[in-house]
Amino acid sequence: MEPTLVINDMTEAADAPPRSNGELVFEAPWQGRVFGIAVALQERQAIGWNDFRDRLVQAITEGETGGEAYYESWLKALDSILVDSDHIDAAELEQRTHDYLNGERDEIF
Amino acid sequence: MSGHHPEPMSEVEARARALESLLYEKGLLTPSAVDAVVNAFEHEIGPLNGAKVVARAWVDPEYRARLQSNAAAAIAELGFAGTQGEHMVAVENTPEVHNVVVCTLCSCYPWPVLGLPPKWYKDLAYRSRVVLEPRAVLKEFGTELPDEVDVRVWDSSAEIRYLVIPERPAGTEDMTEEQLAGLVTRDSMIGVAPALVPDRR
């Protein structure tokens, strides 16, 4: 018997690749990269997980009114923790983002 | 999936790529370190790990006791450990008590035993409603509990991750540990559904 689901999107997407006990882990490659970056940085102790989680909670809370997708919140949390810890320069990140958008850069890892 | 892009990059994707390229240039990370994480979560780490833990607990009372007293250590016995699994608590369903897990603030989840959370676990609807009206939410998952069953909702935190040990279904006395693991679904270990009942042939 199929349960009746009221909560939006609680069912697995019908067109998701078949998995015995789960769903598609990442909906787009960049989401996997953002996730992998956060975990790898934490494993190297370049970022603290509790600090990251606090920022993620804030980004998710803001995103719920702004309609942001889940991994956008991860990216926001990563941005803020890396800029605040001086690992990444905010202006440099802006410039690099433009370079990707304009097609001046296209390398993907 | 390959990195080939027939369509223009979205703003968020461009930002993600920009951040990634800067981290590599600055030597804070290597692509292979990120590849390893992504690959592990796409192909190796998932709810089958947790299912093995639950099946072991069903067949081995001593293991079950160790799981209840120190879940992280008992889970590590089976080779599962790592980020987000350092502080684990196993909560056991009984005929009197039904446990269900949520992370109200974000998406904390026991990665080493369950992999990454399903989409609904991250949605505001589940995160807010399961605390306020757990029985109604469980019913939407097809899990209707008698009134006398005590429903306990566990809110994951930065420190503690929960694994629900579902009740072992009746009629499974003759099944092997491996067969039993096949009855343990992801949803049953979050606590929104019971374990599967074996096929009757």
Candidates A9, A10, A45, A55: best to mutate against B (most CBs of B within 10 A) is: A10
Rg (CA), chain B: 19
Q: What phi and psi values does residue A100 have, to the nearest 5 degrees?
A: -70, -40
Per-residue pLDDT of chain B (201 residues; tens, 9 = 90+): 445 555 678 999 999 999 999 999 999 999 999 999 999 998 888 999 999 999 999 999 999 999 999 999 999 999 998 878 789 999 999 999 999 999 999 999 999 999 999 889 999 999 999 999 999 999 999 999 999 999 999 999 878 999 999 999 999 999 999 999 999 999 999 999 999 998 754
- According to the model, what pLDDT value does residue B119 have? 87
CB B120 within 8 A of CB B87: no
pLDDT for A6 equals 36
Global ipTM? 0.85
Where b means 16+ CB within 10 Å and e means fewer, A84-108 reads eeeebeeeebeebbebbbeeebeeb
Residue B34 touches chain A, beta carbons under 8 Å: yes
pTM confidence score:
0.85
Residue A100 is nearest to which of B14, B37, B142, comparing CB atoms?
B14
pLDDT value of residue B8: 76
Pair A94, B15: CB distance under 8 Å: no
Contacts of residue B94, Cβ cutoff 8 Å, sequence gap at least 6: B167
The C-alpha atoms of residue B36 and residue B83 are separated, in whole angstroms, by 14
What's the CA gap between A103 and A79, in Å, rounded?
A: 22
CA distances from A41 to A52, B35, B115, B156, B159 (A): 10, 13, 19, 22, 19
Using a pLDDT cut of 90, give the percent of chain A over it: 56
Please list every residue in chain A whose beta carbon sits closer than 8 Å to the beta carbon of residue B26.
Answer: 87-88
| Out of A64, A101, A106, closest to residue B124 by CB | A64
To the nearest whole Å, the CA of A33 is away from the closest chain B CA by: 7
What is the DSSP track for B35-94?
A: HHHHHIIIII-SHHHHHHHHHHHHH-HHHHHHHHH-HHHHHHHTT---TT-SSEEEEE--
E-only strand ranges, A1-68: none
Given a cut of 60, is residue A8 above it in pLDDT? Answer: no
Owner of token pair 């939407």:
B140
How far apart CA B36 and CA A40 sit, in angstroms, is 9
Distance (Å) from the alpha carbon of B68 to chain A's nearest alpha carbon: 25
| H or E element in which residue B97 lies | strand B97-102
User: For position B82, what pLDDT does the model report?
Assistant: 82
Does the beta-carbon distance from A88 to B23 stay under 8 Å?
A: yes
Q: What is the pLDDT of residues B109-150, one digit of tens each?
A: 999 999 999 889 999 999 999 999 999 999 999 999 999 999
Query: How many Cβ pairs closer than 8 A exist between chain A and B?
Result: 181
Residue B34: closest CA among B15, B18, B19, B20:
B20
Q: What is the pLDDT of residue A109?
A: 83
Instruction: Give B-chain residues touching A82 at CB under 8 angstroms.
Output: 19, 23
Q: Do B141 and A50 touch (CB under 8 A)?
A: no
DSSP state of B128: H
Report the alpha-carbon distance of residue B116 to residue A109 in Å, rounded: 22
Q: What is the pLDDT of residues A59-68, one digit of tens each?
A: 999 887 776 7
The residue-averaged pLDDT of A77-92 equals: 96
Per residue in A38-60, pLDDT tens?
999 999 999 999 999 999 999 99
CB-CB under 8 Å, B1 with A109: no
> CA–CA separation, B190 vs B118, rounded Å?
10
